[in-house]
Amino acid sequence: MPTSFAVFSATHGIAVMLGFLVLAGFMIIARHSARGKTIVTGLLAFFCLAAYGYSQWAWSTCTEPTSLDSILPFHLCDFAGFLAGYALLSRKPLARELTFYWGLAGTFQGLITPALAYDLPHPAFFTFFLHHFAIVGAALFLPLCDGWRPQQPFYKSPLRAFLWINLYLIFAGTMNVLLGTNFGFLAHPPINPSLIDQLGPWPWYLVSMLGVAMLFYSLLTLPFAGLAKKS
């Protein structure tokens, strides 16, 4: 039997530390030269777009039956992976905007409290962190290395991200009703301790989640408003 993953364990801390060190290296390389930026863009886009494929390979190595939650790419981070890869390659404004907000307000939470059952050295451990760090890396790359900024006036971008997250939740909730799944963790909290545990019982935590999302989107926008005032 593979070892069960524990939030805030040594392996969790090492994975997070190494992941952010790699991302820091990526940002330095991308800012140092045009060639380096091209290479980092390609690597991040590849790992984002390929995330579903290598995650499915990891799940195929499990001896336990795989649930629809793991087979179908309907979790928010699945959508964010496809979106981030597309945003890096296409530079479409909406895709870049959603990648920034969803990556840093949503996927980043997955790194702090991973909804992960398997610890090192199970393949699912590696693919989980690779998937999530690729998205967070793309979200950081856009403003730090690629010149992306929220649309002015600055309330427009977080409000648009909030509208789209509500559309995703409607989709995920519909799939949960039809398939008996837990996409978006709308049916119950994740298996490991997470921020959702502090937001009240179901279904009230669903309302709290929306409030927290809007708060995070607003906080992520504040630094750009400050930069605009200084310039």
Question: pLDDT tens digits, the chain, 231 residues: what are they?
Answer: 456 888 889 999 999 999 999 999 999 999 999 999 999 999 999 999 999 999 999 888 877 777 888 889 999 999 999 999 999 999 999 999 999 999 999 999 999 999 888 888 889 899 999 999 999 999 999 999 999 999 888 889 999 999 999 999 999 999 999 999 999 999 999 888 888 988 889 889 999 999 999 999 999 999 988 665 554
Alpha carbons 150 and 72: distance in angstroms, whole number: 31
Single-letter amino acid code for the residue at 148:
W
**pLDDT for 177:** 95
pTM value is 0.94
Strand, helix or coil for residue 118: strand
Separation CA 185–CA 162 (nearest Å): 17
Nearest to 152 by CA among 227, 42, 213: 227
Count CB-CB contacts under 10 A for residue 66.
11
Residue 231 confidence (pLDDT): 43
- pLDDT confidence of residue 1: 47
Contact 152, 116 (CB under 8 A): no
**Residue 103 token pair:** 């990556």
